C-alpha cells in the first residue's frame, strides 16, 4: 500500500513546528545580566515563552533562568534587546511608576463590585391584553434586593405594586360616573437572575448596566364599588368589584442603567416586561373572554444603594 508522503513526513513536520512554536531561534548575546547580580558574557540563548524561561548556553554548559530573574539582555552590538525577547516581563514596575515586585502583595480585593444592593422607586405600568381590558396604566412603586453571586451575575428579588388601575370610563363608555370607589391592586413578587456590568468599578466607573429575567407571581385584587348613570334612561347602575384575588404566574424580562451619583448610590432607570399567564376565560374587563397571556410593561425610576 502506498501512503501519501505527508503521512510519513508528518512527525518530522510536527517536530519542527513544535520545537519552534514557543522558542526563539538561538540568539547571541554579548551580555546577560540577572537580578541576583550574575552576569554571562558572549553566550547564546533561547527563549521559551510557554514556560517563561530563557536558556543560556556556552558550549555544553547551559543555565535556565525564569523571566522575572532576568535584568537585561544585550545583543552582539551591545544594544538592550530585553524588551524584544521578554516583553513586559523585563520592565520592573518601578520604571512604570508602580511598586516593585518585592513590594507588591496580593491584596484581598473585592471579588465583586458590591456585596448587597437595595433599590426602591416608582414605576409606571402599561397593562395590555384581554385580561386587562378596562384596566388602564398608572403609577406604582416597588423595591428590589440584589445579591451578587459573581462580578457579573446576581440574584434579584422584587416586590412591586403595579400602577395599573380600573378604567371605569372604558368599562362603561358614555355613562355618567357618579361615584368611583373601585380599587385594583396588582402586586408582583419576582425572583430573577441578573447579568450586570460595571465597567471600571475598581477605578471609579460611573455607570452600571443590568439585564434580568425571572419568574414569579402577580396577585390582583379588585374591590369596592362604583355608581354610574345611563345618560339617556337615567338609570343608576352600581358596579360591584368582587372582593376577589386572582394570582397568576408571570415571567419577567427587564433591564436598566444606573448612573452612580456617589460611591454607593445611583439612579436606577429601567424598564420591565411581564408576561402574565392568564389561563382562564374570564378577565376583569368588559369582555368575558380573555386571551391566554397578558402583558404588563413598566418604566421605572428610583434610587439604588450598593454596599
Partner 1 sequence: MKKRIVFLAVLLCGLLILFSCAKYKITHKLEQPINQPSNCSIGEIKDELPADFDEDDKPSLEHIDKFKDYLRIALIEKGIFRDVLLMNPESEYQVTGGILDFKKGSGFVRFLGLFGAGNAKVTTTLRLEDRNTGEILFAGNFKQEVSSYMESGEKIFERVAKDFAKELSKQINKLKRGE
The residues of the shown chain that bind partner 1, judged by CB under 8 A, are 3, 7-8, 10-12, 14-15, 18, 48, 50-53, 64-68, 87-89, 91-93, 96, 98, 101-102, 104-109, 111, 202
Q: Smallest distance from the beta carbon of 10 to partner 1, in angstroms?
A: 7
Q: Smallest distance from the beta carbon of 41 to partner 1, in angstroms?
A: 20
DSSP state of 69: G
Q: Which is nearer to partner 1, 105 or 262 (CB)?
A: 105
What whole-number distance in Å separates Cα of residue 286 and Cα of residue 163?
Answer: 20
Q: Which is nearer to partner 1, 22 or 288 (CB)?
A: 22
**Dmax of the chain from CA atoms?**
116
Give the number of other CB atoms < 10 A from CB of residue 165.
Answer: 19
What whole-number distance in Å separates Cα of residue 293 and Cα of residue 130?
Answer: 8
Q: Which is nearer to partner 1, 100 or 289 (CB)?
A: 100
User: Taking a C-beta distance cutoff of 8 angstroms, is the pair 57, 26 a contact?
Assistant: yes
Q: Which is nearer to partner 1, 62 or 265 (CB)?
A: 62
Tell me if residue 95 falls in helix, strand or coil. helix
Q: Which is nearer to partner 1, 7 or 78 (CB)?
A: 7
DSSP state of 17: H
Q: Smallest distance from the beta carbon of 295 to partner 1, in angstroms?
A: 31
Q: Which is nearer to partner 1, 15 or 282 (CB)?
A: 15
What whole-number distance in Å separates Cα of residue 166 and Cα of residue 184?
Answer: 6
Tell me if residue 163 falls in helix, strand or coil. coil
Q: Smallest distance from the beta carbon of 15 to partner 1, in angstroms?
A: 6
Q: Smallest distance from the beta carbon of 251 to partner 1, in angstroms?
A: 22
Q: Smallest distance from the beta carbon of 109 to partner 1, in angstroms?
A: 7
Whose CA is closest to 272, among 247, 295, 291?
295
Amino acid at each position: 500500500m502506498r501512503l501519501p508522503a505527508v503521512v510519513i513526513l508528518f512527525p518530522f513536520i510536527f517536530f519542527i513546528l513544535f520545537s519552534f512554536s514557543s522558542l526563539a531561534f538561538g540568539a547571541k548575546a554579548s551580555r546577560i545580566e540577572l537580578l541576583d547580580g550574575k552576569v554571562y558574557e558572549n553566550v547564546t540563548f533561547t527563549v521559551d515563552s510557554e514556560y517563561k524561561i530563557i536558556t543560556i548556553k556556552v558550549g555544553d554548559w547551559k543555565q535556565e533562568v525564569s523571566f522575572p530573574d532576568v535584568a537585561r539582555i544585550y545583543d552582539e552590538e551591545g544594544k538592550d534587546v530585553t524588551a524584544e525577547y521578554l516583553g513586559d516581563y523585563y520592565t520592573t514596575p518601578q520604571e512604570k511608576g508602580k511598586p516593585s515586585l518585592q513590594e507588591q502583595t496580593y491584596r484581598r480585593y473585592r471579588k465583586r463590585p458590591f456585596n448587597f444592593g437595595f433599590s426602591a422607586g416608582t414605576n409606571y405600568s402599561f397593562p395590555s391584553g384581554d385580561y386587562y381590558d378596562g384596566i388602564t396604566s398608572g403609577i406604582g412603586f416597588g423595591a428590589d434586593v440584589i445579591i451578587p453571586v459573581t462580578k457579573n451575575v446576581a440574584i434579584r428579588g422584587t416586590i412591586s405594586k403595579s400602577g395599573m388601575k380600573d378604567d371605569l370610563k372604558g368599562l362603561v363608555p358614555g355613562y355618567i360616573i357618579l361615584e368611583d370607589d373601585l380599587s385594583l391592586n396588582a402586586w408582583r413578587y419576582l425572583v430573577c437572575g441578573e447579568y450586570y456590568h460595571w465597567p471600571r468599578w475598581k477605578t471609579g466607573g460611573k455607570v452600571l448596566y443590568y439585564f434580568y429575567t425571572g419568574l414569579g407571581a402577580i396577585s390582583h385584587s379588585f374591590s369596592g364599588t362604583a355608581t354610574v348613570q345611563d345618560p339617556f334612561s337615567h338609570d343608576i347602575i352600581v358596579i360591584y368589584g368582587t372582593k376577589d384575588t386572582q394570582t397568576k404566574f408571570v415571567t419577567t424580562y427587564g433591564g436598566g442603567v444606573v448612573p452612580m451619583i456617589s460611591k454607593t448610590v445611583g439612579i436606577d432607570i429601567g424598564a420591565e416586561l411581564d408576561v402574565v399567564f392568564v389561563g382562564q376565560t374570564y378577565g376583569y374587563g368588559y369582555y368575558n373572554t380573555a386571551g391566554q397571556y397578558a402583558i404588563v410593561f413598566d418604566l421605572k425610576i428610583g434610587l439604588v444603594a450598593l454596599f
